[in-house]
Structure 1
Amino acid sequence: MHLPSAFRLDLRRLILLFAVTTALLTLANTFYASYVTQRDLLIRQTLETNRVYAAKLADSTEGLLNLARQQLAYSVAVLAPVFDQPQKLMAETERLKTQTSIFNSTYVVSADRSLLAISPQALAKPGSVVNSDGAREAVAMRQPLVSQPFVSVIGRLVIAVSHPVFATDGRYLGYVGGSIYLRERSALDVLLSDHHYRDGSGLYVVDRQRRILYHHDAERIGEVMPGNPVIEAAISGDAGAQRVTDTDGVDMLTGYASVTSTGWGIVAQRPTEATLAKLHGLMLEILGNSLPVSLLTLLCIWWLSRLIARPLWQLASSARQMDSQPAAEQIRQVSSWYFEAAELKRAMLAGLAQFNHKIGQLNHDTITDPLTGLLNRRGMLARLEQWQAGNRPFAVIAIDVDHFKQVNDSLGHDAGDQLLRQLAQLMEQVARSNDVLCRNGGEEFMALLPETSLADACAVAERLRQCVADSPIPEGMSVTISLGVAHCPLSSAGIEHALKQADQALYVAKHQGRNRVVTAGAA
Structure 2
Amino acid sequence: MQFYLATSFIFPRSLRLRIFAICFLATHLPLIGYCVWGLSTGRIALFEFVLLTLATVLGTALALFGIGALLDPIHALAAALNPKEEDGAPLPEVGDVIQTLYAGVHRAATATRAQMEDLSIAALEDPLTGIANRRGFLEQVQALPAHQRKGCLAIVDIDFFKQVNDRLGHDEGDRVLCAFADRLSSQIRRADMVARWGGEEFAILFHECIEDEADWTLARLAARMREEPIGTVDGHPITFSAGLCCWNDEDIEAALHSADEALYEAKRSGRDRTCRAASVAGQEVGS
Q: Which residue of 481, 501, 509 maps to 2:240?
A: 481
- The corresponding residue for 1:441 is 198
> What amino acid does structure 1 have at the position aligned with 2:196?
R
1:456 aligned counterpart, secondary structure: helix
Q: Are the equivalent residues in 2 in contact too, given 1:401–1:443 (CA < 8 A)?
A: yes
Summarize the alignment of residues 73-472 of structure 1 with structure 2, pairs less than 5 Å apart. 314-320=23-29, 323-324=53-54, 325-327=57-59, 329-330=61-62, 332-333=64-65, 334-335=67-68, 339-387=96-144, 389-390=146-147, 392-472=149-229
- The corresponding residue for 1:169 is none
CA distance in 2, matches of 1:398, 1:390: 23
CA distance in 1, matches of 2:176, 2:114: 31
CA distance in 1, matches of 2:271, 2:30: 94
| Distance 1:344-1:466 versus aligned 2 partners, 3 A rule | same
| Distance 1:371-1:312 versus aligned 2 partners, 3 A rule | farther
1:522 aligned counterpart, secondary structure: helix
CA distance in 1, matches of 2:232, 2:218: 25
CA distance in 2, matches of 1:391, 1:328: 74
| Distance 1:344-1:387 versus aligned 2 partners, 3 A rule | closer
Find out whether 1:511 has 2:243 as its counterpart: no
Which runs of 5 or more structure 1 residues have no equivalent in the other structure?
A: 1-11, 18-306
* 1:454-500 Cα shifts (integer Å, max 9, x gaps): 111100111122222334346776311111111113xx964333211
Q: Are the equivalent residues in 2 in contact too, given 1:319–1:327 (CA < 8 A)?
A: no
The alpha carbon displacement at 1:312 in A equals 6.8
The alpha carbon displacement at 1:319 in A equals 3.7
1:466 aligned counterpart, secondary structure: helix
CA distance in 1, matches of 2:30, 2:173: 80
> What amino acid does structure 1 have at the position aligned with 2:58?
P
CA distance in 2, matches of 1:390, 1:311: 68
CA distance in 1, matches of 2:239, 2:154: 15
CA distance in 1, matches of 2:209, 2:60: 84
CA distance in 1, matches of 2:132, 2:146: 20
The percent identity for this pair of structures is 29
Q: Are the equivalent residues in 2 in contact too, given 1:486–1:520 (CA < 8 A)?
A: yes
| Distance 1:340-1:14 versus aligned 2 partners, 3 A rule | closer
- The corresponding residue for 1:496 is 253
> What amino acid does structure 2 have at the position aligned with 1:370?
P
| Distance 1:513-1:310 versus aligned 2 partners, 3 A rule | farther
CA distance in 2, matches of 1:321, 1:403: 94
Structure with the higher fraction of residues in strand conformation: 1
- The corresponding residue for 1:197 is none
The alpha carbon displacement at 1:328 in A equals 5.3
2:221 aligned counterpart, secondary structure: helix
CA distance in 2, matches of 1:311, 1:411: 75
Find out whether 1:14 has 2:3 as its counterpart: yes
2:189 aligned counterpart, secondary structure: coil
CA distance in 2, matches of 1:413, 1:319: 80
1:432 aligned counterpart, secondary structure: coil
* 1:361-408 Cα shifts (integer Å, max 9, x gaps): 222222221211211111221222234733632111110111112212
* 1:14-54 Cα shifts (integer Å, max 9, x gaps): 3499xxxxxxxxxxxxxxxxxxxxxxxxxxxxxxxxxxxxx
| Distance 1:366-1:319 versus aligned 2 partners, 3 A rule | farther
2:278 aligned counterpart, secondary structure: coil
The alpha carbon displacement at 1:331 in A equals 5.6
Structure with the higher fraction of residues in helix conformation: 2
The alpha carbon displacement at 1:311 in A equals 6.8
CA distance in 1, matches of 2:151, 2:21: 69
Structure 2-normalised TM-score? 0.66
Q: Are the equivalent residues in 1 in contact too, given 2:153–2:259 (CA < 8 A)?
A: yes
| Distance 1:16-1:359 versus aligned 2 partners, 3 A rule | farther
Q: Are the equivalent residues in 1 in contact too, given 2:23–2:64 (CA < 8 A)?
A: no
RCO comparison, higher one (Cα < 8 Å, 6+): 2
Report the count of equivalent residues.
222
1:370 aligned counterpart, secondary structure: coil
Structure 1-normalised TM-score? 0.38
* 1:78-103 Cα shifts (integer Å, max 9, x gaps): xxxxxxxxxxxxxxxxxxxxxxxxxx
Q: Are the equivalent residues in 2 in contact too, given 1:398–1:447 (CA < 8 A)?
A: yes
CA distance in 2, matches of 1:472, 1:437: 20
The alpha carbon displacement at 1:409 in A equals 1.9
The alpha carbon displacement at 1:315 in A equals 4.7
Q: Are the equivalent residues in 2 in contact too, given 1:426–1:467 (CA < 8 A)?
A: no
Q: Are the equivalent residues in 1 in contact too, given 2:23–2:60 (CA < 8 A)?
A: no
| Distance 1:378-1:427 versus aligned 2 partners, 3 A rule | same
